[in-house]
Amino acid sequence: MTTPTPRSGRLAGRTALITGASRGIGRAIALRYAEEGADLFVTATKAALLEETRTQAEALGAKVTVHVADVSRRDAVQALVDTAVQALGGIDILVNNAGVYKASRLVDYTPEDFDRIMQVNVYGVFHAMQLVLRHMQPRGRGKVINIASTAGKWGSMNQSAYNASKHAVVGLTRCAAMEMGAHGIQVNAICPGFVQTDMLQEFRAHGDILGVPFEKVMEAGLARVPLKRFLQPQEIASLAVYLGSAESDGMTGQTLLLDGGMLMV
Ligand SMILES: NC(=O)c1ccc[n+]([C@@H]2O[C@H](COP(=O)([O-])OP(=O)(O)OC[C@H]3O[C@@H](n4cnc5c(N)ncnc54)[C@H](OP(=O)(O)O)[C@@H]3O)[C@@H](O)[C@H]2O)c1
């Protein structure tokens, strides 16, 4: 029997659990991680697109396990983490990327819509962080990368539930970093601005509320971005590679803006 050749790259020999990896930023992170030598455990609620991520990541040489799960459900995340630990032989990197968005004026949110955004964007991150950190702690190493948003750092019109949820992710990131430092675990967040994914299309509803066409909403958004363009998911993935690699071992508790210069705080 021949010994398999170790895969090279900045994440060689590392394993990663990535939520919301079926499309957009999550898929881009999965593919960059595969390129850099990581083995993957990818999850989302719909199987078909996840399988596409698997096919593309395997073509880059990664070992990939696909698992359908709704991160808002504690029992589903417990099963997800247990299966990932078995499949990967241990989780080195957790990327909490799954998220949902819905535009509404604060006075119009239904409690159900508000609750759904909190369940996925906040409780999803809490469940996965708590269960994976319990696994990482005795190993004395690990990386957690939470995908927050510029919405976690300032106010926006017609998306108070989303902004509240992303402020919570920023808070969870900072507190977890404080508690995990002594265990050799780094916890950081990426706060993207406008990124060209399906989620950007959800801004149509924002335009409907304001009574302006989608194009005008996008123009107004770009007017606040010094680089004058939307980011691509791959650009978020590049920062996620850094945060998942040994290169960032000295960094924890950071909530890094990657937004074309929109916020300078
Ligand atoms: N695009 C932007 O401009 C932008 C800016 C700042 C921050 N972000 C954040 O970046 C992350 C990724 O966003 P994106 O733009 O790539 O969005 P996207 O294209 O809408 O993808 C969202 C991903 O999350 C998954 N997902 C949604 N609900 C889930 C649940 N309950 N359980 C498990 N997976 C779930 C989706 O898969 P299924 O549909 O199969 O469930 C999909 O893979 C989100 O946290 C988002 O808030 C995005």
What CATH number does residue 24 fall under? 3.40.50.720
Domain that holds residue 155: 15-194+232-256
* Catalytic residue, candidates 101, 109, 123, 162: 162
For 107, the token pair is: 């006075």
Answer yes or no: is pLDDT of 126 > 60.
yes
Asked if residue 209 belongs to a domain, the reply is no
What burial class does residue 3 get, using C-beta atoms within 10 Å of its C-beta: 0-12 exposed, 13-18 middle, 19+ buried?
A: exposed
User: Total structural domains in the chain?
Assistant: 1
Does the active-site annotation cover 101?
no
Q: Residue 149: inside a domain, yes or no? A: yes
Residue 106 falls within a domain, yes or no? yes
Tell me which H or E stretch contains 233.
helix 233-244
Q: Is position 156 within any domain?
A: yes
Residue 199 lies in a domain: no
139 alpha carbon – ligand 1 mean position (Å): 29
Instruction: Using the mean position of ligand 1's atoms as its centre, give its distance from the Cα of residue 24 in Å.
Output: 7
Distance CA 204, CA 217 (A): 8
**Residue 151 token pair:** 């919405």
Residues 76-123: tens digit of each pLDDT: 999 999 999 999 999 999 999 999 999 999 999 999 999 999 999 999
pLDDT, position 109: 95
Residue 79, in any domain of the structure: yes
Is residue 36 in some structural domain? Answer: yes
Could you tell me the pLDDT band of residue 155, with boundaries at 50, 70 and 90? very high
* Nearest ligand 1 atom to alpha carbon 68: 33
| Cα dist from 244 to 37, 44, 61, 161, whole Å | 12, 20, 18, 29
In a domain, 216, yes or no: no
Say if residue 140's pLDDT is above 80: yes
**Residue nearest atom 8 of ligand 1, based on CA coordinates:** 149
- pLDDT given at position 8: 87
